[in-house]
Amino acid sequence: MTDVGFNAETASTGAGRLHGERSTTVAVILAAGQGTRMRSALPKVLHEVLGRPLVHFPVLAALEAGVSRVVVVVGHGRDQVEASVRSVAPDAIFAVQSEQRGTADAVKAAVAHFGDARRVLILSGDVPGPTSATIAALLAAPGPGTSASPLTVVGFTAADPTGYGRLVTNADGGLLAIVEHKDAAKAGRTDILAETRCNAGIYLVERDLLSETLTRVAGDNAQGELYLTDVARFAAEAGRPGRVYLAGDAAEVEGVNDRAQLAQADARLRRRRNLELMRAGVTLLDPERIRVGFDVTVEADVVLGPDVTLTGRSTVASGASIGQGTVVKDSRIAGGAEILPYCVLDDADVGPRATVGPFAHLRPGTRLLEKAKVGNFVETKKTTLGRGAKASHLTYLGDCDVGEDSNIGAGTITCNYDGVNKHRTRIGARVFVGSNTELVAPCTLGDESVVGAGTTVTADVPAGALALSRAPQVNLDGWAARRGPFARKRARTASGQGEH
């Protein structure tokens, strides 16, 4: 029988995505365990790798590979896990395993949601590495649904196989059994313990074999758990042994059981992501120090400096550069924009050829239009800087619109908050705001107006006007020579009082 829903073409074009009508494979993601070795209040599968919770990886990979539906088995921290999965896979189905009695028991909880699927893809919620391409290849390879073998198990060769289930095969490579480490140790089977080919916890099973397994499985093992791995023995006993699909890269299928493995998985996926970016034409200066989240888009001919972090749904267009140590979240950076070192951007839009920093903080709602400039020690929030407008030094602009080519002097502060409400400041085009100015909102500065340095603006300024609020300067001739500090010190020395 040929399952037309899965072939290499479908996988690469994504034609079988989501609820592909032709596919008859259901994916089950095991994510009910607590993950005690993480020592965390957060369920293990919600710990993040490169900004993405562990459980999202198998869910998204399965969907992208084209399964007809995804069932996530939840238990420990189920509300949190469900909410998190729903945010990326609104159509995912949840099955509850109220007591964690083993991996076969977890699959049992999902059976009611299999629909008419003929094969079942089982993935672990704590293995973030497999790509959708690997899973698509597994689905397309001869195995359940396409050949005599009712079971394919993804295996890998472990540098240190301690703790993993070992793959026991016959001379033809047929899978006879999967033996858990603890059971091999208990039985004194050093031959099995010496085996380095391990079970990755990823399976493709014909539904009939799985149903039989779930009926027959018993917890007669070292851990007293219902092992899904017994499926291998049942298939072999029925004279139809499973096949092993050996992952080329062991790192791709290593699980996360503690914080050290979490850090390793993070480093691995960061490297993989950075390699993809470099191959796509992005220059990374010291790639080991750069973090780019999965939902970030970076175009060719972008330059990222060391220690740059890009997260959320940020986009960086061709020709932009981001300097060392800058952190960008959910922001859009246009072509040719230059972000200098050590800036923080959150939900900001940086227009074409605009410049930012060093040491600038663009908070949510900041929009810099073409060639606008925000310089060092400037903070902006809900603020638009028009084309060519500049705020070069030491400034706070909150709830503010600045027209094109206006210049905001050093030390300008919008007083946007009266302690209860926020108010807007509207600055027209080609306005010159002198240094150390306070703009008490709400206020409007008309086009081509000028504000003298040191002014506290409390009323609107008409177009073309000069606003000045500082007290007029008075010079008292000779005052300092007679009464200034140096004059007094000199007088004290002369009278022999010495210095204090």
Footprint of Mg ion (CB under 5 A): 126, 255
Residue 234: how many CB atoms within 10 A of its CB? 20
Is the Cβ of residue 127 or residue 236 nearer to Mg ion in the bound state? 127
Residue 228 interacting with ligand UD1 (CB under 6 A):
yes
180 is an interface residue for ligand UD1 by CB under 6 A = yes
Q: What radius of gyration do the chain's Cα atoms show? A: 32
State yes or no: residue 199 binds ligand UD1 (CB under 6 A). yes
The site partner of 455 among Mg ion, ligand UD1, none (C-beta below 5 to 8 Å per kind) is none
- Nearer to ligand UD1 by Cβ, of 205 and 298: the residue is 205
244 in contact with ligand UD1 (CB under 6 A): no
Identify which range of 225-233, 261-269, 323-331, 367-375 contacts ligand UD1 by CB under 6 A.
225-233
Q: What's the longest Cα–Cα distance across the chain?
A: 116
Instruction: State yes or no: residue 152 binds ligand UD1 (CB under 6 A).
Output: no
DSSP 8-state class, residue 484: S
* CB nearer to ligand UD1: pick between 98 and 458: 98
CA distance 460 to 467: 9
- Total residues interacting with ligand UD1, rule: CB under 6 A: 28
C-beta of 99: minimal distance to ligand UD1 in Å? Answer: 8
Q: Point out the residues that are catalytic.
A: 393
Q: Is 465 exposed, middle or buried (0-12, 13-18, 19+ CB in 10 A)?
A: middle
C-beta of residue 67 within 8 angstroms of C-beta of residue 25? yes
Q: Which stretch binds ligand UD1 (CB under 6 A): 100-108, 278-286, 317-325, 409-417?
A: 100-108
Q: Is 338 a residue that touches ligand UD1 (CB under 6 A)?
A: no
Interface with ligand UD1 includes 255 (CB under 6 A)?
yes
Of 349, 262, 4, 283, which is closest to residue 146 (Cα–Cα)? 4
Q: Does 277 bind ligand UD1 (CB under 6 A)?
A: no
**Cα–Cα nearest to 54, from 64, 68, 43:** 43
Indicate the residue among 135 and 228 with the shorter CB distance to ligand UD1. 228
Identify any residues that bridge with 46 across adjacent strands, giving them in sequence order. none
Q: Considering only residues 126, 330, 346, 404, which one is a binding residue for ligand UD1 as defined by CB under 6 A?
A: 126
d(CA 451, CA 436): 10
Could you say which of Mg ion, ligand UD1, none residue 437 binds, taking C-beta under 5 to 8 angstroms by partner kind?
none
Which lies closer to Mg ion via its Cβ, residue 158 or residue 389? Answer: 158
- Among 11, 27, 28, 32, the residue binding ligand UD1 under the rule CB under 6 A is 32
Of 173, 179, 181, 186, the closest CA to residue 229 belongs to 179
Q: In the beta sheet, which residues pair with residue 349?
A: 332, 367
Beta strand spans in 108-242 (E): 119-124, 151-157, 166-169, 175-179, 197-206
